């Protein structure tokens, strides 16, 4: 299990890897990946996921789904680093000869489900948790959703189902960066009070700073030892674009590419020389 200092180092590494990947192929959603980076790193390197790169489909593996599919590529450098597929595949991102697509699917080792259409990943993850309970299997199911994804009715249908069936092996992480593709979530359709909404559906709710490893690890410790009979929602208050100052909290950067001047600034802030040709 990685220490907090090691995880902090991983944060910079992951942002560098993702930025280089996006700049090389001019495809990807940098800010959406950066807002959930610490949470995803904590899950994989903090000892919370039982996974075997040599047997990625083992029956008792824990399940993790990035339901905000536009950010699913946040998993690619991690899965490569852990040995799920060769690192050379990162150099073939979105290319016909490669296995790594813009939107992940289950043909990729370590990926549980195709995502991209918002509101679907949470239901699939809930199904995994339900099957684990039904079959008396020890694994847990983790799903990362965006806050804008909470506009989808299927999210709340799943919330009802999971609470009714007492799926305390199910953890949903809401990446609460406060932005959807157009503007602030509170300007588009107000979500607050989000914590109370999840509680009212019968969930055990934890709220953390999504970029503080001490808070994240405490929440994941509690979530993975949960015996309340309630599914767990972790509301991760994050910053979209965290790590590149001019992208932070700016909805217009959802899928925008930097120009040469912005690229130079981003490289400096991330301490990386990116390949752009």
* 3-class SS letters over 145-183: EECHHHHCHHHHHHHHHHHHCCCCCEEEEEEECCECCCC
pLDDT at 273: 55
Where the chain has pLDDT below 70, the residues are: 273-277
pLDDT digits (tens, 9 = 90+) for 100-119: 999 999 999 999 999 988 99
Architecture of domain 4-270: 3-Layer(aba) Sandwich (3.40)
Peptide bond preceding 193 in cis form (omega within 30 of 0):
yes
pTM for the whole thing? 0.95
Both tokens of 223, joined, read: 């979530």
pLDDT at 148: 96
Which residues lie below 8 Å from residue 82, measured CB to CB, with a gap of 6+?
44, 51, 53, 110
CB count within 10 Å of CB 46 equals: 22
**Domain parsing of the chain, residue ranges:** 4-270
pLDDT digits (tens, 9 = 90+) for 47-106: 999 999 999 999 999 999 999 999 999 999 999 999 999 999 999 999 999 999 999 999
pLDDT at 275: 42
Both tokens of 12, joined, read: 């910079």
């Amino acid at each position: 299990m990685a220490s907090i200092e090691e995880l902090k180092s991983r944060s910079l590494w992951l942002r560098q890897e993702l930025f280089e990947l996006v700049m090389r192929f001019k495809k990807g959603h940098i800010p959406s990946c950066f807002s959930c980076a610490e949470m995803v790193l904590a899950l994989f390197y903090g000892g919370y996921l039982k996974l075997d790169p040599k047997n990625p489909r083992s029956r008792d593996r824990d399940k993790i789904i990035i339901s905000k599919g536009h950010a699913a590529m946040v998993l690619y450098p991690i899965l490569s680093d852990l040995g799920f597929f060769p690192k050379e595949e990162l150099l073939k991102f979105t290319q016909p000869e490669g296995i790594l697509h813009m939107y992940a699917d289950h043909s990729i080792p370590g990926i549980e489900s195709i995502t991209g259409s918002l509101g679907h990943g949470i239901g699939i993850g809930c199904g995994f948790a339900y099957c684990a309970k039904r079959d008396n299997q020890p694994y847990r199911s983790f799903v990362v959703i965006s806050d804008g994804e909470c506009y989808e009715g299927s999210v709340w249908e799943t919330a009802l189902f999971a609470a009714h069936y007492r799926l305390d092996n199910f953890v949903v992480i809401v990446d609460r960066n406060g932005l959807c593709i157009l503007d602030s979530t509170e300007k588009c359709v107000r979500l607050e009070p989000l914590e109370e909404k999840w509680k009212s559906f019968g969930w055990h709710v934890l709220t953390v700073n999504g970029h503080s490893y001490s808070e994240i690890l405490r929440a994941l410790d509690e979530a993975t030892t949960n015996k309340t009979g309630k599914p767990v929602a972790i509301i991760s208050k994050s910053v979209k674009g965290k790590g590149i100052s001019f992208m932070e909290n700016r909805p217009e950067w959802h899928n925008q590419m930097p120009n040469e001047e912005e690229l130079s600034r981003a490289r400096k802030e991330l301490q990386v020389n990116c390949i752009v040709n």
